[in-house]
């Protein structure tokens, strides 16, 4: 059960900003691709990394660990400079949005202290989003006119327990692959004490080849969102609450794990139950299992249509392929629909796996199949889909700043819409799942999740 104790007050110790070293990056402007525009007003991604340091004191952290954390971030930013810049709207000569970096740009950096229950926060039981949200920094959506940061960082000390690093990034700045590369660079630089790039990000938008008309489609969509957000009371932080029913103070995030052995058993069971599925990836198996458990937990009418959606990295799927070093958004969208009755049957997991795998396979022939139909976003939003944040490929549990691997990584932003997050397991094996739901639904989901594994 989620903790019922009062929400602790966060004590802000320091607020500053971090810039690339002077003279390392000239003033630069880069146009946004249609994929960047697609995500520009979809809300920021909020991720939390928890590190266990049992003997840590606030004084020790401020004097001995914080300086290297800040200096390594500064050394990292020249290689990922759009994150320190802003997104601006250029009305002429051709209307568009651009990344703009000037030598005065910086990233907001907050240091705080919390007396919250560290063990509870890194646990697997349901934790209130209201307990996790204060640990990630706020970030306003870009207006296109004002200089709004694209990323913010907050480091929180839990005396005698550990440290958390909260990262908030506007999704219009980059996708999860680019963020993962940024975090690896920063952590490795902090640990080694010097900048040793494992990857050189590429910012040339000509490397991402797609039909020109997609730019105008998503530019029009971005302009409509911009008008809604900044000429009314609507903001991306005011998104619909989970299931259009749960209030924010009822939203919890729970953690679930699939061991490598459980994944293999699920794969074998799926192949046995469904002759159409001779092979499916670990990602497909995990998503199929979570989706069916969630649908059962929600108790929907069997005639209702259930929706499932996730983003796919297109860098290696397009022709010609986009280099893996490409920085920005390069994503395709997969959408799967099934009747609830199909998902709650005994073979529901195998049916879900078949259709999820099929959606991925279809990207081979048409990687941009949903790009020309931006209205799919509204359709999804109206049907309470299960959406996915993250990927096991991001290797979030490998991010060692010199204090050891994180003991827990959470995607806090899934709390806005009842999504799931997915990562590798804490030990690098298996799969980690985060799920946001109402307290009532979470209890039902946890029971479905456990019972299903026992029956393998």
What is the set of active-site residues? 171, 400
The residue to which tokens 């928890």 are assigned: 50
CB-side neighbour CA atoms (13 Å) of 428: 3
Question: Residue 50: CB partners within 8 Å, gap ≥ 6?
Answer: 118, 121, 122, 162, 163, 164, 406, 407, 408, 409, 410
d(CA 306, CA 173): 30
Question: Residue 220: CB partners within 8 Å, gap ≥ 6?
Answer: none
Question: Residue 5: CB partners within 8 Å, gap ≥ 6?
Answer: 117
Cβ 11 vs Cβ 114: under 8 Å = yes
CB atoms within 10 A of CB 409: 24
d(CA 394, CA 398): 9
Got the DSSP string for 341-397? HHHSSTTHHHHHHHHHHHHHHHTTT-TTTTTT-TTHHHHHHTT--EEEE--GGG-GG
Question: Residue 144: CB partners within 8 Å, gap ≥ 6?
Answer: 87, 88, 89, 97, 226
| Residue 281: strand, helix, or coil | coil
| Residue 166: strand, helix, or coil | strand
d(CA 86, CA 170): 10
């Amino acid at each position: 059960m989620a903790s019922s104790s009062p929400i602790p007050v966060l004590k802000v110790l320091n607020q500053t900003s971090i810039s690339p070293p002077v003279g390392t990056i000239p003033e630069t402007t880069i146009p946004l691709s249609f994929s960047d525009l697609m995500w520009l007003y979809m809300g920021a991604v909020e991720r939390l990394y928890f590190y266990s340091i049992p003997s840590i004191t606030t004084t020790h952290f401020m004097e001995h660990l914080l300086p290297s954390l800040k200096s390594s971030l500064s050394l990292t930013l020249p290689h990922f400079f759009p994150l320190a810049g802003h997104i601006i709207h250029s009305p002429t000569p051709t209307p568009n949005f651009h990344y703009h970096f000037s030598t005065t740009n910086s990233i907001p950096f907050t240091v705080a202290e919390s007396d919250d229950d560290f063990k509870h926060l890194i646990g697997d039981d349901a934790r209130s989003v209201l307990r996790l949200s204060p640990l990630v920094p706020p970030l306003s959506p870009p207006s296109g006119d004002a200089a709004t940061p694209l990323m913010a960082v907050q480091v929180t000390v839990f005396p005698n327990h550990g440290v958390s690093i909260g990262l908030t990034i506007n999704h219009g700045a980059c996708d999860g692959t680019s963020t993962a590369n940024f975090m690896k660079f920063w952590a490795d630089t902090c640990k080694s004490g010097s900048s040793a790039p494992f990857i050189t990000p590429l910012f040339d938008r000509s490397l991402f080849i797609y039909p020109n008309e997609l730019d105008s489609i998503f530019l029009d969509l971005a302009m409509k969102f911009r008008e809604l957000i900044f000429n009314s009371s609507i903001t991306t932080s005011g998104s619909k609450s989970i299931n259009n029913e749960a209030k924010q103070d009822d939203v919890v995030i729970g953690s679930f794990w699939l061991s490598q052995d459980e994944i293999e058993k699920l794969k074998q069971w799926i192949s046995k139950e469904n002759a159409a599925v001779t092979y499916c990836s670990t990602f497909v198996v995990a998503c199929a299992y979570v989706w069916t458990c969630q649908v059962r937990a929600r108790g929907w009418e069997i005639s209702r249509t259930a929706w499932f959606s996730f983003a796919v990295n297109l860098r290696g799927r397009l022709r010609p392929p986009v280099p893996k070093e490409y920085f920005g958004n390069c994503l395709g969208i997969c959408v799967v629909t099934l009747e609830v009755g199909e998902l709650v049957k005994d073979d529901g997991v195998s049916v879900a796996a078949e259709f999820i795998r099929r959606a991925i396979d279809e990207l081979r022939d048409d990687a941009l199949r949903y790009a020309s139909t931006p209205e799919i976003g509204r359709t999804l939003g109206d049907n309470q889909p299960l959406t996915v944040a993250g990927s096991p490929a991001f290797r979030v549990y490998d991010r060692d700043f010199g204090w050891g691997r994180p003991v827990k990584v959470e995607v806090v932003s899934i709390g806005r819409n009842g999504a799931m997050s997915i990562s590798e397991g804490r030990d690098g094996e298996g799969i980690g799942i985060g799920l946001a739901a109402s307290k009532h639904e979470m209890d039902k989901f946890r029971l479905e999740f456990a019972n299903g594994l026992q029956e393998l």
